[in-house]
Amino acid sequence: MKALVLLSDGRHPVSGRPAPAGTELQAIALARGLTEEVAGLYAGPDAAAARTALGHGLARLEHRRLPEGDDPLPSLAAAIAAAAPDLVLAGRRAGAGAQTGLVPYQLAEALGWPLVPDVVALTVADGVLEAVQALPKGARRRWRVKLPALVTVHPAAPVAASFAIGMARSGHVEDAPGIDAPQDGTALEERPYRPRPRLIASAAAGASAAERLKAATQSAGPGGRVMVDPTPEEAARAILEHLRALGVLKPAPGRD
């Protein structure tokens, strides 16, 4: 089985130096749990960040050279078609650039492969991939998809292997020209980032300090129901009924 990990031209969030994105390194660790044959794929001008990923457990890196600002999609699709891997893994967002997280989806569409988002665990049996997707609030969802498939990796996946300089040195980089795909100049204007205040919905804008404190600590809904001194059995029944009405507790078995 062959796995291919998509690498971006990542930048370290603090220092700004070339560094692969965290989820891409986790993708390498996940892929190595399935197979020994894990290669990296990067399309772009400078493979400095992708090269560091070699030290985290990649044996080989394919670099498709592109001029600055070109769309990597055709080169990636062509490289994947040529390498014919069974599984392609990608990070959640690129480590730099626009960080829309759109490339894996566009690739899956172009290749006609199924895509499983936010994966935290992978197993393969008989050409069927079993992937566990992480959802908010700790929920998990299991997908069974036929290979070949594309997955994106969630930060809750197992941690990446640490960097080993010997591996990074011995790793092999295959350099080939990519398919030029100039993009029609970015329609979006760019400026230095300015953090915006989060808008807190519960306290209306311009409310007094007392009202904002109240909104932060008191319930928004209508006043609650109070039961004074019920017997424990009555209390238990009322609580269970209430929890079921809210939908946090499954309906009682035998009743619907």
Q: Give, as ranges, the residues between 72 and 131 that touch another protein (CB under 8 A).
A: 95-102, 105-106, 108-109, 113-115, 117-118, 128
Using rule CB under 8 A, residue 198 touches another protein: yes
**Binding window for another protein (CB under 8 A); candidates: 26-34, 40-48, 170-178, 211-219:** 211-219
**Residues paired with 89 in a beta bridge:** 5, 151
Helix (H, G, I), strand (E, B) or coil at 134: strand
First to last CA, the chain: 47
Radius of gyration of the chain (CA): 25
Q: Binders of another protein among 134-163, rule CB under 8 A? A: 134-146, 149
Beta strands of 23-148 (E only): which ranges? 38-44, 60-65, 87-90, 115-125, 128-134, 140-146
Helix (H) / strand (E) containing 125: strand 115-125
Q: How far is the CB of 90 from another protein (least distance, A)?
A: 12
Residues 40-79 that bind another protein (CB under 8 A): none
The site string for another protein over 216-245 (x = CB under 8 A, - otherwise) reads xxxxxx--xxxxxxx-xx-xxxxxx-xx--
256 binding another protein? (CB under 8 A): no
CB of 162 or CB of 219, closer to another protein: 219
Contacting residues for 95 by C-beta, under 8 A, at least 6 apart: 8, 9, 10, 11, 19, 20, 21, 24, 49
Pair type for strands 128-134 and 60-65:
unpaired
How near is the Cβ of 142 to another protein at its closest, in Å? 5
Residues in contact with another protein, counted by CB under 8 A, come to a total of 88
Q: How far is the CB of 11 from another protein (least distance, A)?
A: 6
Rounded CA-CA distance 31/33 in Å is 5
Q: Measured from the CB atom, is 176 or 240 closer to another protein? A: 240
